Amino acid sequence: MARLMSFVSLTALVALPGCAPATNPGAGASPVPWTPQAVSTENYESSPTFTPDGREMYYVAADRNFRNYRILRSTCQAGDWSSPQPAPFGLPLPVIEADPFVTHDGRRLYFISSRQAPDREDFDIWHVERGADGAWGPAVRLPEPVNSEHAELLPRVTADGTLYFGSDRPGGYGQSDIYAATEDRPGQWTVRNVGPRSAPWPTITRRTSPGMGRPWFWCRTEAPDRTSTAS
């Protein structure tokens, strides 16, 4: 888990001054550190996701040894980010939770959790729905074939509702593959492996481009010290 997660950090974001709306940096822009005082610490922060209005952020926090992952929440208050608090849907340690993702409409948040088997760190994908009062509802575990007896990581959803995630389940092309899932009807999902292009070596992560919902991937290609993108 730590080996995969450590590749994605807050330093990979385009700078956002305080809570100001993000601007499009244009093609070829270089990433720069983003270190809001209340959020950036001597420990580990990664994988931020924002509500559509940009005023609520969920992210992963861990200790300096990349252990004890949990999801924290910070909000835009008086032009800056508030002191982070545990996500209202989260469970305390020893349950490990990470990889939050808010959907484009802001009505659903996906994350991974070991709450169904904390002694084994069997990470599965869960989600919460936002109610009319703005509060998150109870966490719901996605059924098979999305979840399996093996680990699922980094759930991300495109604008058309396709759920992408990583898993080391048997039958893939590499040590950890990217899968795409569609909900055919409520509670019934179809899952497919996106193919061998992303899987000769362990897949690292996946993101959705802002605005368009177009998927792109970071993955290992030929050797563990090389990375590439595929979209």
Average pLDDT, the chain: 80
| 193 & 121 share domain | no
| 130 & 166 share domain | no
Q: Long-range CB contacts (< 8 A, 24+ apart) of 157-162?
A: 157/101, 157/103, 157/104, 157/108, 157/110, 157/208, 158/208, 158/213, 158/214, 158/215, 159/104, 159/208, 159/212, 159/213, 160/213, 162/215
| 37 & 106 share domain | yes
pLDDT of amino acid 178: 92
pLDDT of amino acid 25: 67
| CA gap 130, 109 in Å, rounded | 8
| CA gap 100, 113 in Å, rounded | 10
Measuring CA to CA, which residue among 148, 151, 85, 169 is closest to residue 114? 151
| 87 & 187 share domain | no
| 6 & 120 share domain | yes
Residue with tokens 């305080």: 18
Is the per-residue pLDDT at 116 higher than 70?
yes
Is the per-residue pLDDT at 203 higher than 80?
no
Residue 103 corresponds to which amino acid? T
Is the per-residue pLDDT at 204 higher than 60?
no
pLDDT of amino acid 220: 45
| 137 & 165 share domain | no
How many independent structural domains does the chain possess? 2
pLDDT of amino acid 205: 44
In a domain, 190, yes or no: yes
In a domain, 148, yes or no: no
Is the per-residue pLDDT at 14 higher than 70?
no
Per-residue pLDDT band at 120 (split at 50, 70, 90): confident
Is the per-residue pLDDT at 130 higher than 60?
yes
pLDDT of amino acid 224: 40
Measuring CA to CA, which residue among 48, 40, 45, 38 is closest to residue 62? 45
- Which range (24-28, 56-60, 78-82, 192-196) has the least confidence? 24-28
Measuring CA to CA, which residue among 139, 191, 147 is closest to residue 168? 147
Residue 225 or 112, more confident: 112
| 98 & 129 share domain | yes
| CA gap 68, 44 in Å, rounded | 10
Task: Kindly state the average pLDDT of the residues 135-154.
Answer: 95
Question: Which two tokens mark 226?
Answer: 């090389």
In a domain, 151, yes or no: no
Strands (E), 104-174: 108-113, 124-129, 140-141, 152-157, 163-167
Three-class SS of residue 196?
helix
| 3 & 87 share domain | yes
| 92 & 42 share domain | yes
In a domain, 150, yes or no: no
| 132 & 35 share domain | yes
pLDDT of amino acid 197: 63
Domain that holds residue 124: 1-18+29-141
Share of the chain above pLDDT 90, in %: 53
pLDDT of amino acid 89: 97
End-of-domain residue from the set 86, 106, 141? 141
pLDDT of amino acid 118: 81
End-of-domain residue from the set 80, 112, 141? 141
